[in-house]
Amino acid sequence: MYRGELSLTLWALIFINTSETCILRTHITAVEGEPFYLKYCLSSPVHKNETTTIRWYRSNRSQERVELKQGSSPRITLWDYVLEFWPVELDDRGSYFFQMGNYTQQWILNITRRNKHSCFTEKQVTSKIVEVKKVLQITCENSYYQKLINSTSLYKNCKKLPENDKNPSIRKNAEFEDQGFYSCVFSLHRSGKLFTITKTFNITIVEDHSNIVPVLLGPKLNHVEVELGKDVQLNCCALLNKNDVVYWIFEKENGPDPNVHEEEEKKAVTSEGKLHSSRILRIENINENNLNFLYNCTVAGEGGTDTKSFILVKKADMADIPGHIFTRGMIIAILILVAVVCFVIVGVIYRVDLVLFYRHLMGKDETLTDGKTYDAFVSYLKECRPENGEEYTFAVETLPRVLEKHFGYQLCIFERDVMPGGAVVDEIHSLIQKSRRLIIVLSKSYMSSEVRYELESGLHEALVERKIKIILIEFTPVGDFTFLPQSLTLLKSHRVLKWKADKSLSYNSRFWKNLLYLMPAKTVKPGGDESEMLPVLPEP
C-alpha cells in the first residue's frame, strides 16, 4: 500500500516531466550540427514494471529496422524515454521508433543543411504575425537543455542586440520597424565541446486587423464627357481592407467589348496607415456603343460592398456654354446686382435730389389746374418780440426771398398779403383754402391764440378734407411737441424740417432741397439774379 502510493507519485513526476518536453509531432525537421533529442510521450500511464524493456530502433530508406544501443555512435545517447544527438547530422535522416512492451512511437526525422551564409536557417523559422501597436514578445527559452545552457544571445537580422542576460527577451508595443528575423542562440558545453542551438522567429508586423467597411471614393454616378474616336480612362478608387477586391463590370449581353480593358489593381498604404486601391478601366476608340452604358466599379469584402457607375456622354457642342464664359456671366450678373443694390441705396439717400431733378427735367407743374392762388400759407409767430425776432425775420424775409424770388413760388404771408380790416378768422380760413401747402414755422412760443386758428384750420383741411399738406419748420429746436395738438404728431416725420442756421444758408443746402421737395412741383421761372451759391441769410 505504502509502496504503491510512492510509485504513483513517481509516475506522476515522470509523466509531468516527459510531457513538458516530449515530442508528439511525427514529422520533425532538425538543423545539422545542433544538439537534438527525441522523447517519448506518455499518452496514457503505462503499467510499467522493472522487467518491461525499452528499445530504440531506426530505419532508413532501405527499411531495415536497426536497434540503437548506447555507444553504437559517439553522437548518440540513450536513456529511458530519450534519444539525444550530440549533434544531429545529415546522415541521421530516417524513421525512429521507441518501443516499450508492445507500445511504440514513431518519428520521421528530416535534417536540413545549415545555412553557411546566415546566422540562421531560413527553413527552420517560426513565423509570427503581430499587429502594429499590439504586444510583441520574444523570449529565448529552451526548457529541455536549460540546465546545460551556458549563455544565450538574441540577434535581430543577425545583428546582436545589446542586452545579454541569461535569458534575453523583448517585450514592447510593435512598430513596423520591428519586423525581421530574431534569433535566440543558446550556447552549451558538453564533454568539453561547445554546441549552439538557434531558434529563429520570423516576425511580420501588420496593420490593425480591425476591418473597415470598404468604400469607393467619389460620387455614385459619374458623367464623363468624351469625344468619339478618342480614348478614356475611368479610375475607380477605394478605401478597403487587405483582402478586399476592386473590379469593374463592363460586359454587355452581346459579349465582351474588345475596346474595353481592365487594368491591374494598384494598392498603396497612405501615411495614416489606410489601404487605398485603384483600378483603371481603359476604353479605346470610343464609339456610340460605349455611350449611355453604365460601367460599374465594385469593391467587395467581408465588411460589405460598394458600387459606383460611370457613364460616357458625348462632349457637348459649341452651343453649350464653355466654363470660362459661364464664369464671366456669373461675374457680370453679380456686378449688375451690386450696381442695382447701390443704385437703390443711393436712391434712398438722394431721394429728394432725384425727385427735384426729375421735376426739373420733366418740367412738371402741379399748380396749373387746381385753381388755388397760393403755393403756401406761412403761419408764424406774429408778434415781433426781441426773443423771437429771428423767427419773424425768417418767416417774413428769408422764406419769401428764397421761395418766391429764387424758386418762383407764390406765398401767402398774412401780414403782407392781407389788407387790414375784415373778419380775420374768415379771411384766414379762405386763404388757407386757396393755398396748396401750410408752412408752420414752429417755435416754443408759437402757440399764441392768434396763430392757433391758422393751425386748427390748416389741420382740419389737411387731416379731414385732405386738401392741403402741412410742412413744419422747426426753427428753434423744440424739445417736446406736447404743446401741439395731438393730430399734428400724426404728420410723417419727413414733413418736419429742421432749420440749422449755419448749415442751411446756401440755396443748395439740404434744408431748402427738402423744402422744395415738400412744396408742389412747379416750373421755375428764373426769379432773381442771385447766384445759386449765394447765402440766403446775410453772413453773420
Ligand X SMILES: *[C@@H]1O[C@H](CO)[C@@H](O)[C@H](O)[C@H]1NC(C)=O
Min dist. Cβ of residue 271 to ligand X (A): 23
Judged by CB under 6 A, the stretch of 125-133, 407-415, 420-428, 520-528 that binds ligand X is 125-133
Q: Say whether the peptide bond before residue 162 is cis (omega within 30 degrees of 0).
A: no
Q: Alpha carbon of 196 to those of 127, 142, 160, 190: distances in Å?
A: 21, 12, 15, 11
Cell 471614393 locates to 217
Q: Does residue number 416 form part of the binding site for ligand X (CB under 6 A)?
A: no
With a CB cutoff of 8 Å and minimum separation 6, the contacts of 309 are 220, 221, 222, 294, 295, 296, 297
Min dist. Cβ of residue 185 to ligand X (A): 14
Give the Cα-Cα-Cα angle 455, 457, 461 (nearest 5 degrees): 115
- CA pair distance 99, 81, nearest whole angstrom: 9
> Applying CB under 6 A, which of residues 6, 90, 135, 294 lies at the interface with ligand X?
294
| Closest residue by Cα to residue 315 from 297, 295, 296, 291 | 291
Min dist. Cβ of residue 13 to ligand X (A): 20
The 3-state secondary structure of 110-130 reads: EEECCCCCCCCCHHHEEEEEE
Q: Does residue number 102 form part of the binding site for ligand X (CB under 6 A)?
A: yes
Q: Which is nearer to ligand X, 101 or 400 (CB)?
A: 101
Question: Between 351-362 and 323-349, two packed helices, what is the crossing angle to 10 degrees?
Answer: 90
- CA pair distance 504, 103, nearest whole angstrom: 131
Judged by CB under 6 A, the stretch of 118-126, 236-244, 344-352, 428-436 that binds ligand X is 118-126
Min dist. Cβ of residue 347 to ligand X (A): 55
Min dist. Cβ of residue 346 to ligand X (A): 56
| Closest residue by Cα to residue 259 from 220, 288, 296, 279 | 288
With a CB cutoff of 8 Å and minimum separation 6, the contacts of 429 are 457
Q: Does residue number 118 form part of the binding site for ligand X (CB under 6 A)?
A: no
How many other CB atoms sit within 10 Å of the CB of residue 431?
19
Q: Does residue number 24 form part of the binding site for ligand X (CB under 6 A)?
A: no
Q: Which is nearer to ligand X, 62 or 191 (CB)?
A: 62
Q: Is 454 a catalytic residue?
A: yes
Beta bridge partners of 278: 237, 266
Q: Which is nearer to ligand X, 61 or 525 (CB)?
A: 61
Joined grid coordinates for residue 279: 483600378
How many residues bind ligand X, per CB under 6 A?
25
Min dist. Cβ of residue 117 to ligand X (A): 14
> Applying CB under 6 A, which of residues 28, 41, 54, 125 lies at the interface with ligand X?
125
Q: Does residue number 46 form part of the binding site for ligand X (CB under 6 A)?
A: no
> Applying CB under 6 A, which of residues 25, 61, 171, 525 lies at the interface with ligand X?
61
> Applying CB under 6 A, which of residues 65, 69, 189, 282 lies at the interface with ligand X?
189
Q: Which is nearer to ligand X, 125 or 280 (CB)?
A: 125
Q: Does residue number 506 form part of the binding site for ligand X (CB under 6 A)?
A: no
Judged by CB under 6 A, the stretch of 44-52, 131-139, 166-174, 413-421 that binds ligand X is 44-52
Q: Which is nearer to ligand X, 101 or 218 (CB)?
A: 101
Q: Does residue number 249 form part of the binding site for ligand X (CB under 6 A)?
A: yes
Catalytic-labelled residue, pool 454, 461, 465, 539: 454
Judged by CB under 6 A, the stretch of 117-125, 399-407, 460-468, 478-486 that binds ligand X is 117-125
Q: Does residue number 123 form part of the binding site for ligand X (CB under 6 A)?
A: yes
Judged by CB under 6 A, the stretch of 35-43, 56-64, 363-371, 471-479 that binds ligand X is 56-64
Q: Does residue number 101 form part of the binding site for ligand X (CB under 6 A)?
A: yes
Q: Which is nearer to ligand X, 218 or 527 (CB)?
A: 218
Q: Does residue number 127 form part of the binding site for ligand X (CB under 6 A)?
A: yes
The DSSP string of 91-107 is: GG-EEEEEEETTEEEEE
The DSSP string of 517-536 is: HHSPP-PPP---S--TTSBS
| Closest residue by Cα to residue 212 from 272, 139, 288 | 272
The answer to whether 446 and 452 have CB atoms below 8 angstroms apart is no
The answer to whether 481 and 457 have CB atoms below 8 angstroms apart is no
Judged by CB under 6 A, the stretch of 57-65, 318-326, 459-467, 509-517 that binds ligand X is 57-65
Q: Does residue number 191 form part of the binding site for ligand X (CB under 6 A)?
A: no
- CA pair distance 228, 291, nearest whole angstrom: 9
Phi, psi angle pair for 8, to nearest 5°: -65, -45
Beta bridge partners of 311: 223, 294
* HSE (side-chain half, CA atoms, 13 Å) at 213: 4
Q: Does residue number 60 form part of the binding site for ligand X (CB under 6 A)?
A: yes
Min dist. Cβ of residue 248 to ligand X (A): 10
Q: Which is nearer to ligand X, 148 or 354 (CB)?
A: 148
Span 307-366, contacts to ligand X by CB under 6 A: 307, 309
- CA pair distance 109, 343, nearest whole angstrom: 100
> Applying CB under 6 A, which of residues 95, 142, 169, 202 lies at the interface with ligand X?
202
| Closest residue by Cα to residue 24 from 44, 39, 46 | 39
With a CB cutoff of 8 Å and minimum separation 6, the contacts of 460 are none
Which residues contact ligand X (rule: CB under 6 A)? 47, 49, 51, 60-62, 66, 101-102, 110, 112, 122-123, 125, 127, 129, 150, 189, 202, 204, 249, 294, 296, 307, 309
**Residues identified as active-site:** 454
